[in-house]
A = this chain, B = another copy of it.
Amino acid sequence: MNYRFSDPVAGLKPSAIREILKNSGDTIPLSAGNPAPDAFPVSDVKEITAKILEEEPILALQYGVTEGYDPLIAELTKLAHEHYGVGTDNDSIIVVSGATQIMSLVSQVFLNPGDTVICEEPSFIGSLNCFRAHGARLVGVPVESDGIDVDALEETLKKESGAKFIYTIPNFQNPSGATMSFEKRKRMYALARQYGVLILEDNPYGDLRVAGDDVPAIKSLDTDGLVIYAGSFSKIIAPGIRVGFVVSPSEISAKLTVAKQTQDVHTTMLSQLLVYKWLKAGKIEDHIKKIKDIYRRKLNLMCDSMDAQLSDYLTYHRPEGGLFVWAKLNKGIDMIDYVKTASKNGVSVVPGNAFLIDSSAPCDYIRLNFSTPSDEGIVEGIKLLKETAEKMR
Contact = CB atoms under 8 A, between A and B. Distances in A.
A113 B113 contact: yes
A25 interface: no
Interface in A20-70: 34-35, 37, 40, 42, 45-46, 49-50, 53-54, 57-64
B37 A225 contact: no
A269 B37 CA distance: 14
B42 A62 contact: no
Contact of A271 (B101, B104, B268): B268
B58 A40 contact: yes
Nearest to A47: B53
A133 B261 CA distance: 10
A34 B63 contact: yes
A126 B4 contact: no
Interface stretch (A235-243, A275-283, A313-321): A235-243
B109 A261 contact: no
Contact of A104 (B50, B62, B264): B264
A130 interface: yes
Interface string A314-345: 00000000000000000000000000000000
Interface in A229-288: 234, 237-242, 249, 251-252, 255, 258-259, 261-271
Interface string A76-106: 0000000000000000000001101101100
Contact of A263 (B100, B258, B271): B100
A59 B238 CA distance: 11
Given A196-B1, A263-B101, A258 B12 contact: yes
Contacts of A234: 63
A265 B58 contact: no
A262 B5 contact: no
A279 B161 CA distance: 54
A239 B97 contact: no
Contacts of A100: 262-265
B6 A108 contact: yes
A9 interface: yes
A164 interface: yes
- The secondary structure that dominates the A interface is helix
Interface in A113-166: 113, 115, 126, 129-130, 133, 164
Contact of A6 (B61, B109, B242, B268): B109
Contact of A110 (B4, B115, B261): B4
Best-surrounded residue of A46, A224, A263 (most CB of chain B within 10 A): A263
A112 interface: yes
Contact of A61 (B7, B64, B164, B240): B240
Contacts of A50: 46, 49-50, 53
Contacts of A5: 109-110, 255
22 contacts: A1-B224, A1-B249, A3-B252, A4-B110, A6-B110, A6-B112, A42-B53, A49-B49, A49-B50, A49-B53, A60-B240, A61-B241, A63-B234, A97-B97, A98-B264, A100-B264, A101-B263, A112-B113, A126-B262, A133-B258, A241-B269, A270-B271
Interface of A: 1, 3-7, 9, 12, 34-35, 37, 40, 42, 45-46, 49-50, 53-54, 57-64, 97-98, 100-101, 103-104, 108-113, 115, 126, 129-130, 133, 164, 196, 198, 224-226, 234, 237-242, 249, 251-252, 255, 258-259, 261-271
Q: Which 8 A-B pairs have the closest CB atoms?
A: A240-B269, A61-B238, A130-B262, A61-B240, A268-B268, A97-B264, A42-B57, A63-B239
